[in-house]
Structure 1
Amino acid sequence: MRKKLFVAGIISPVIYVLYVIIGGMLRKGYSQIKQPISDLSAKGAPNLGMLNTFGSLSQIFGFIFAISAFIYLRRFKIKAVTISMVFFLAETLITFSYSFFPEDMPGTTLTFTGFMHLAVTALVVITIILMLVFAGVGFRKLNGYKKFSGYSIVTCIVIVISGISSGIVISNNIPIFGVVERINIGALQLWVFVFALVLLNSLQEFE
């Protein structure tokens, strides 16, 4: 059963990647290099129903994985790891609110839902950074997870640097925001994917 639940951590990022690729291909004039991913699911965007389905499936599988990882890892009673998994759970829950607060279409007036979208994004970023910091601190205390501890710290650094770079790119109107954002979000999705593989591997060794 645990193996099946941990596989959700592999499925979630794969669905998200498909969401980005398919959404970009179907939307005429959309630039993966210049535009943020959130433009694909902005209010009034084409193919919104299908893309929201992809997004929801990714979120659901992500939540399933987060709760199964939390339940499995709390048995080791390492405080930092448990805190990291709490933030992981929180992040997966918070992302569900994107369905209620879609981004405003580029060039339109900022609405309440658009403002809330930005607020949710800020909260998600803070939660992710805390999750990775505690993962980096905690997993080094767990046998078989020391490399993953270092990887978590590296991922955190990549997300922080790419996040700062996003602000620089936007303020200077450099047309590569899509690339910088995809490095940021891609780092997280890859971390989830790797985390699932690490947990699956640990189960095999335990058996």
Structure 2
Amino acid sequence: MNTNRIFWIGIIGVSLFVLTAIVGGLLIEGYSPVSQLISESYAIDTAYGGYLRAIGYIPSGILIALFCFKAAPYFRGFKLTRVNIIGIGIFYGLATVVVSIFPCDSGCNTDLIDPSISQLIHNLMGILTYLFAPVCILLTGVGTNKSDQFRKFSRQAIMLGFLSFASVGLLIGAGESDYVGLIQRVVEATFVLWVFSCAFALRSGKQIQG
């Protein structure tokens, strides 16, 4: 698959994710993207949750994972970067698919009072995503930091990795803060921006050599 096709797979994947997150919030009366988690917009009891998952989050996760798995071989001269791009495909792309197949309970049951199996799987995948995706993003930048051609991508990935770490730390400390939704969206934005950065790096047109 050529780099132009891989580029568009990544761009469409994250754009679909962002669009679905925006539309999902608009479909629920009184929903606040500042104080409520993204998952609450497609929880098991929401009127349009099934549609959002089926035509939004699941396809976007598949596309993001496919982008990462197809992009990784182009970094064959940079093993650290290649491995961690695959990691992002797993912990961000495929994880998005899993949390969509297993949505959270009503209100996302943050206190875990008699949680369903779906809620537990949803939470587990969310934890894995927020633990590993920032590490993978950072290491994709570290792996290419000696490349003159891809120094811009390296710097962007390192910056996004640190921002992602900081945002996840804030999210963990936020608890039931009135700003938990906003903080989560900052975390997700770092993931989305990394895909854009990687896609444009690939589109530079040359197979990456170490």
TM-score (norm 2): 0.88
The 2-side partners of 1:160 and 1:106 are apart by 26
Gaps of 5+ in 1: none
CA distances 1:9-28 after superposition (whole Å, capped 9, x unpaired): 11111111110111111111
Once the two structures are TM-superposed, the CA of residue 130 in structure 1 deviates from its matched residue by 2.6
How many residue pairs match? The answer is: 202
Q: Aligned Cα RMSD in Å?
A: 2.1
Q: Does the 8 Å contact 1:87/1:131 carry over to 2?
A: yes
Question: Which whole-Å CA distance do the structure 1 matches of 2:5 and 2:108 have between them?
Answer: 44
Distance between the aligned counterparts of 1:39 and 1:152, measured in 2? Answer: 29
Name 2:121's counterpart in structure 1. 116
- Alignment partners' CA distance in 2, 1:72 and 1:204: 6
Q: CA 1:149–1:57 in structure 2 vs 1: closer, same or farther (change >3 Å)?
A: same
Matched ranges for 1:27-176 at <5 A: 27-52=28-53, 53-74=55-76, 76=77, 78-91=78-91, 92-106=93-107, 108=109, 109=113, 110-170=115-175, 173-176=176-179
Instruction: Call closer, same or farther: CA 1:131–1:182 in 2, change over 3 Å.
Output: same
Structure holding more helix per residue: 1
TM-score, normalization by structure 1 = 0.89
- How far has the Cα of 1:182 moved from its partner? 0.6
The offset of 1:127, in angstroms, is 2.4
Q: Distance in 1 between matches of 2:80 and 2:30?
A: 45
Q: Which runs of 4+ in 1 moved over 3 A?
A: 202-206
Q: Which stretches in structure 2 are left out of the alignment for 5+ residues?
A: none
CA displacement at 1:107 relative to structure 2 = 7.0
Q: For residues 107 and 122 of structure 1, what CA distance do their matches in structure 2 show?
A: 14
| 1:96 shift after superposition | 2.1
In the other structure, the counterpart of 1:201 is 204
Partner AA of 1:8 in structure 2: I
Superposition deviation, residue 183 in structure 1: 0.5
Deviation at 1:32, TM superposition (A): 0.9
Task: Tell me the amino acid that sits aligned with residue 50 of structure 1.
Answer: Y
Q: Deviations over 1:79-129 (max 9, x none)?
A: 212221231232222332113321121275322221221111111122212
Distance in 2, Cα, partners of 1:47 & 1:107: 15
- Looking at structure 2, the residues matched to 9 and 107 of structure 1 have their Cα atoms a distance apart, in angstroms, of 28
1:127-174 alpha-carbon deviations (Å, 9 max, x no partner): 21231232121111333111211211111111111111122221xx43
